[in-house]
């Protein structure tokens, strides 16, 4: 099989590292062939804080996926998030070079380069330069300028940057694990490949991924990503609030959240009670579900309201024709769709990877949207970033991988 017919996505999250291997199936329908996950303890809010732990989790997740798939992979499409991510729009203009005025691939490259020529602080690097639309001799709204005729070519691009140190540490974690990074991909861009269909991208949709440490917000409209931002809040904050509010250890708070938390605290009177372990050897106590409901709802409301405010700040707030798609583990919380519909005042659904063949069952979960989407993004050739010649490529052999696992 040709190497380009297999692609691996790697989602290094705050709660878990997830690797997904997909292959190009019949009639170009992608098939999931391997999935691996490992608890992640070396990340905080999308940032690597413990390289060794992150490396181990990467090795573990990828090896599981390789075993399931029965293939070995060398390099992967790796997601990046964190509140160090920034994005802005920029424009580039050039004169078309050929005497017959036909726009060539070189012209498209030049105009994108011109749009990219903006001052970026020394400690940041460009992740993606995403063309939004081309303008040929004043005619706007052009998606593909290649082959058209004109004198003046302009482009509107969405530029996404990351803190260099954060990006380098993600790359280092993967390389120390013995793999190459095909491309660092903004997390929502990867997720969109797994959960959004072309109608949603076209008519407008807000994508909100609520993980453990971060909440990624992105807007897609007219086929492109139009806005992206990352909030340093996630399901971990809910767990923390439960631990403090009910005075119980974090591990117990997490269990309580998974078993009982409701984003919408309805009918408190009809609720039962929960046995809660005390802190530092204190006695167990009984706490009403209503008390838990108040804690959870307050934080979930804050989190979703912040995501809503991010969207409201843009020019696209009224253009989300299809509503909001929620992904990430926190999207599994009971009542989140209802609460989000109330806050966004838009239809909301939970995004689950689907319309893929193979071991699809293993990724039917909003937590796997990122890993699966990154792999699918890679299968498409990572077009977006290749177009602008960016990409962190490195061929790292299997031997380094072993070395990485031990040092």
Ligand X SMILES: Nc1ncnc2c1ncn2[C@@H]1O[C@H](COP(=O)(O)OP(=O)(O)OP(=O)(O)O)[C@@H](O)[C@H]1O
* Residues making contact with ligand X (CB under 6 A): 13-16, 40, 46, 81, 211-214, 234-236, 239, 254, 257-258, 261, 328-330, 332-333, 367
With CB under 5 A as the contact rule, which of the stretches 13-21, 98-106, 193-201, 344-352 interacts with Mg ion? 13-21
Cβ proximity of 57 and 43 under 8 Å:
no
**41, two tokens:** 């303890």
CB of residue 209 to ligand X, shortest distance in Å: 6
333 makes contact, choosing from ligand X, Mg ion, none, with CB < 5 to 8 Å by partner type, with ligand X
CB atoms within 10 A of CB 238: 27
Does 213 bind Mg ion (CB under 5 A)? Our answer is: no
C-alpha 403/C-alpha 80 separation (Å) is 24
Residue recorded with tokens 């990467």: 58
CB atoms within 10 A of CB 201: 18
**326, two tokens:** 């929620």
- Closest by CA position to 173, among listed 261, 273, 267, 42: 42
228 makes contact, choosing from ligand X, Mg ion, none, with CB < 5 to 8 Å by partner type, with none
Does 13 bind Mg ion (CB under 5 A)? Our answer is: yes
Binding mask 297-326 for Mg ion (x = CB under 5 A): ------------------------------
Nearer to ligand X, 16 or 392 (CB): 16
CB atoms within 10 A of CB 28: 7
CB of residue 176 to ligand X, shortest distance in Å: 19
CB atoms within 10 A of CB 3: 9
Does 366 bind Mg ion (CB under 5 A)? Our answer is: no
Does 382 bind Mg ion (CB under 5 A)? Our answer is: no
- Longest Cα–Cα distance of the chain, Å, equals 84
How many chain residues bind Mg ion (CB under 5 A)? 2
- Closest by CA position to 103, among listed 134, 128, 124, 79: 134
With CB under 5 A as the contact rule, which of the stretches 34-42, 206-214, 235-243, 380-388 interacts with Mg ion? 206-214
CB of residue 24 to ligand X, shortest distance in Å: 26
87 makes contact, choosing from Mg ion, ligand X, none, with CB < 5 to 8 Å by partner type, with none
Q: Which residue has the closest beta carbon to Mg ion? A: 211
Nearer to Mg ion, 13 or 204 (CB): 13
SS3 51: helix
Nearer to ligand X, 79 or 382 (CB): 79
C-alpha 192/C-alpha 198 separation (Å) is 10
30 makes contact, choosing from Mg ion, ligand X, none, with CB < 5 to 8 Å by partner type, with none
Does 30 bind Mg ion (CB under 5 A)? Our answer is: no
CB of residue 257 to Mg ion, shortest distance in Å: 17
Nearer to ligand X, 44 or 247 (CB): 44
Dihedral sign, CA of 230, 235, 237, 238? Answer: positive
C-alpha 405/C-alpha 59 separation (Å) is 7
Strand (E) or helix (H) holding 55: helix 51-69
Nearer to ligand X, 75 or 330 (CB): 330
Does 211 bind Mg ion (CB under 5 A)? Our answer is: yes
**Cα 60 from chain centroid (whole Å):** 21
Residue 138, phi-psi category: left (phi > 0), alpha (psi -120 to 50), beta (remainder)? left
235 makes contact, choosing from Mg ion, ligand X, none, with CB < 5 to 8 Å by partner type, with ligand X
Query: Under the rule (CB under 5 A), what is the footprint of Mg ion?
Result: 13, 211
């Amino acid at each position: 099989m040709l190497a380009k017919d297999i692609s691996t996505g790697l989602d290094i999250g705050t709660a878990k590292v997830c690797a997904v291997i997909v292959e190009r199936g019949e009639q170009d329908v992608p098939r999931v062939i391997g999935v691996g996950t490992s608890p992640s303890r070396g990340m905080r809010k999308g940032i690597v804080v413990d390289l060794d732990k992150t490396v181990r989790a990467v090795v573990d997740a990828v090896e599981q996926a390789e075993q399931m798939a029965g293939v070995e992979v060398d390099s992967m499409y790796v997601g990046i998030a964190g509140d160090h991510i920034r994005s802005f729009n920029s424009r580039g203009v050039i004169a078309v070079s050929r005497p017959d005025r036909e726009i060539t691939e070189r012209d498209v490259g030049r105009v994108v380069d011109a749009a990219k020529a903006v001052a970026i602080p020394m400690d940041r690097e460009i992740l993606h330069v995403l063309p939004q639309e081309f303008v040929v001799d004043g005619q706007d709204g052009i998606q593909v300028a290649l082959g058209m005729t004109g004198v003046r070519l302009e482009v509107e691009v969405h530029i996404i940057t990351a803190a260099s140190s954060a990006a380098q540490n993600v790359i280092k974690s993967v390389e120390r694990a013995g793999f190459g990074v095909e491309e660092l991909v903004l997390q929502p861009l990867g997720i969109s490949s797994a959960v959004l269909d072309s109608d949603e991208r076209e008519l407008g949709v807000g994508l909100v991924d609520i993980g453990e440490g971060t909440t990624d917000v992105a807007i897609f409209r007219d086929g492109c990503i139009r806005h992206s931002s990352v909030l340093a809040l996630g399901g971990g904050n809910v767990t923390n609030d439960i631990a403090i509010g009910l005075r119980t250890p974090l591990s117990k708070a997490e269990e309580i959240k998974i078993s009982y938390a409701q984003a919408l605290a309805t009918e408190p009177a009809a609720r039962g009670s929960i046995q809660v372990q005390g802190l530092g050897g204190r006695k167990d106590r009984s706490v009403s579900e209503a008390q838990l409901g108040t804690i959870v709802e307050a934080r979930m409301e804050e989190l979703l309201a912040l995501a809503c405010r991010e969207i409201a700040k843009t020019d696209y707030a009224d253009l989300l024709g299809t509503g909001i798609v929620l992904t990430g583990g926190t999207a599994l919380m009971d009542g989140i769709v209802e609460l989000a519909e109330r806050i966004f005042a838009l239809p909301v659904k939970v995004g689950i990877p689907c319309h893929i063949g193979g071991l699809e069952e293993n990724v039917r979960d909003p937590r796997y949207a990122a890993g699966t989407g990154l792999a699918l993004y890679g299968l498409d050739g990572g077009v977006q970033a290749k177009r602008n010649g960016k990409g962190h490529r490195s061929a790292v052999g299997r031997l380094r991988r072993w070395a990485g696992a031990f040092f």
